[in-house]
Amino acid sequence: MSQLPLRAQLASALGRTAATLSRATGRGDGSVIGGRVGLMLEPDLLRQLAADRRLALVSATNGKTTTTRLITSALRQLGEVATNAFGANMPAGHVSALSTAKDAPYAVLEVDEKYLPEVLDTTRAGVVCLMNLSRDQMDRAAEIWLLAQKWRRALAAQPTLVIANCDDPLVTWAATGSARVTWVSAGQRWREDSWCCPECGGPLDRKGVDWACRECAFRRPTPSWVLDGEDVIDPRGQRWRLDLQLPGQANRSNAAIALATVAAFGLEPGHALLGLREVTSVAGRYTTVERDGRSLRLLLAKNPAGWLEAFDVADPSLPIILSVNAQGPDGRDTSWLWDVDYRILRGRPVLVTGERRRDLALRLYVAGVPFQLCDSFGQAVAVLPPGRIDVIANYTAFQQIRTEFGRAE
C-alpha cells in the first residue's frame, strides 16, 4: 500500500479512536461513528483508503453480508482482507473497515443497494458482484426498476469486472452494458418481481432458470459459472461439490457468486472452497443458541424473498417462532407480509411474537395457518417443550433476540 496523505492518516486515526470510544462505552461496534468522524475530517477519505487495493463490492437485496463473508474467508488465503463484517454497508462503514485494516492489500465491502453507484464511483472497485434484486422496505428504499437503472448507469461508466447472477433478469439488465461481465447461474427463487422485461416491459417467458422476453431481444446470457444442485461447475467444466456448513439453497447461490469472484483474484475453486467451508454463522444468522433445554436456531428474513430462503432452511418437523417488527430498519410498513406464502407452515406448531405480531397473526389467520400469539419472545420459548426450535425474525426483531442471548456467534 502506498502511503496515505497526512490529512487522510489523521482522519483515519481519529475515526478509529472514535470507534474505540464508542465500543468502550457500549454504544455499538463503532464502525459507523468511526467512519463518520473520518469522513467529516477528510471527505475524500474513502477514495484514498480504497486506492491501491484490490477491491470487490458486493450488493444485492439478499445475501450481501453472507456473500461478503464467504469471499473474505476465501481471499484470506492470499493475504490480509479489509471488510465490513458487521454489516455497516454505507460509506461511513466502508471508511471504518478500510482504516481498521489499513495495510490489507485486499478489500471486500458489502454495499447497500442504494449506495452502490456512489461507492463504485468513489472507489473505482475492480470487481462488483450482484446477486439479486427484489422488493424490500418500500417505504424507504428506491423502487427496484429505478434502482436497477441507477446500477446500470453506474456500471456502464466504469471498466469494473461485474460478476452477475444471470438467473435474475433485473440484475442481468443492470449488468448488461458493462465492459466486462462474468455471468453466473446462481438461481432465483423469488420471481414475483421479474415477470416483465426490464428492457421493454414485455412478458418474460420462463422455463427453469432460463428466461427470454417475448417481445424484444433481451434474454438470459449464457453463464460461465453454473450452480447445479450441490455443485458449482466452473468455466472449464469442472464440477466442485460445495459442502458448505451454511445451510440452504440461498447460501449455495451465494457461494457460486463467491467462487466466481475470487477466481477473478486468481484463487482457484479448490483453494477457495477451503475458505468457504470455514464459515458457520454470519452476524448471528444460522447460529444456534441454548436456553432452558431448548436449542433455538436463528434465521433472519427481511423481505419476501428472504422468507422463502428461511423456509427452505427451516425444518418442517420442528416448531417455529416468528417475530416481526416494523421499526425504521425493517421498513415501517408491514404490507410485505402479504407477499409471503405462509401455508408451508401448516402442520407445525407456530408461535407469533414481535412488535407487529397482530399484523402477522391476521396474515396467518387468512392463510389458514393455526398459530399461538405470544406477548414476548421469552413467552414463546417457554410455551414450547424442550428440544430444537426454528426462529425466523426480521431485522430489528432478530437484533433484539440476539441481544437477549448476548450476541453470541
Interface with another protein (CB under 8 A):
135, 138-140, 143-146, 192-193, 195-196, 201-203, 214, 332-339, 358-359, 361-363, 365-367
Nearer to another protein, 17 or 335 (CB): 335
Nearer to another protein, 139 or 243 (CB): 139
- Per-residue burial over 158-192, b = 16 or more CB atoms within 10 Å of its CB, e = otherwise: bebbbbbbbbbbbbbbbbbebeebbbbbbbbbbbe
* Residues 391, 318: Cα–Cα separation, whole Å: 10
- Least distance from C-beta 202 to another protein, angstroms? 8
* Alpha-carbon separation of residue 281 from 54, 303, 388 (angstroms): 26, 20, 18
* Least spacing, CB of residue 96 vs another protein, in Å: 29
Closest approach, Cβ 188 to another protein, in A, equals 15
41 closest CA partner among 1, 84, 12, 19: 12
> Shortest Cβ distance from residue 72 to another protein (Å)?
33
* Cell numbers representing residue 297 in the block: 436456531
Q: Which residue has the cell 441481544?
A: 403
CB of 214 to another protein, least distance (A): 7
SS3 204: strand
Q: Of the candidates 34, 182, 66, 54, which has an alpha carbon nearest to the alpha carbon of residue 108?
A: 54
Nearest to another protein of 47, 206 (CB atom): 206
Q: Compare residues 157 and 373 and give the one whose CB is closer to another protein.
A: 373
Closest to another protein by CB, 193 or 234: 193
Of 195 and 210, nearer to another protein (C-beta) is 195
What's the distance, CA 335 to chain centroid?
21
| Phi, psi angles (nearest 5°) of residue 123 | -90, -20
Q: What minimum distance in Å lies between the beta carbon of 117 and another protein?
A: 18
Contacts of 279 (CB under 8 A, 6+ apart): 66, 69, 70, 73, 244, 245, 246
Which of 197, 258 has the CB closer to another protein? 197
> How many of the other CB atoms lie within 10 Å of CB of 206?
16
Please, which residue, 264 or 361, has the CB nearer to another protein? 361
The residue (of 230 and 365) whose beta carbon lies closer to another protein is 365
Q: Give 5 or 201: the residue with its C-beta nearer to another protein.
A: 201
Question: DSSP string covering 32-82, please?
Answer: HHHHHHHHHH-TTHHHHHHTTSEEEEEE-SSSHHHHHHHHHHHHTTTS-EE
CB of 373 to another protein, least distance (A): 9
SS3 104: coil
> Which among 309, 322, 241 is positioned nearest to 66, based on CA atoms?
309
The smaller minimum CB distance to another protein, of residues 272 and 337, is found at 337
Parallel, antiparallel, or unpaired: how do β-strands 54-59 and 106-110 relate? parallel
User: 244 and 277 in contact (C-beta within 8 Å)?
Assistant: yes
Closest approach of Cβ 332 to another protein, in Å? 7
Nine-digit cell string for 204: 418474460
Least distance in angstroms from the C-beta of 197 to another protein:
10
* Nearest approach, Cβ of residue 367 and another protein (Å): 7
Cα torsion 215, 217, 221, 222: sign: positive
Report the distance separating Cα 257 and Cα 181, nearest Å. Answer: 12
Shortest CB 62 distance to another protein, Å: 17
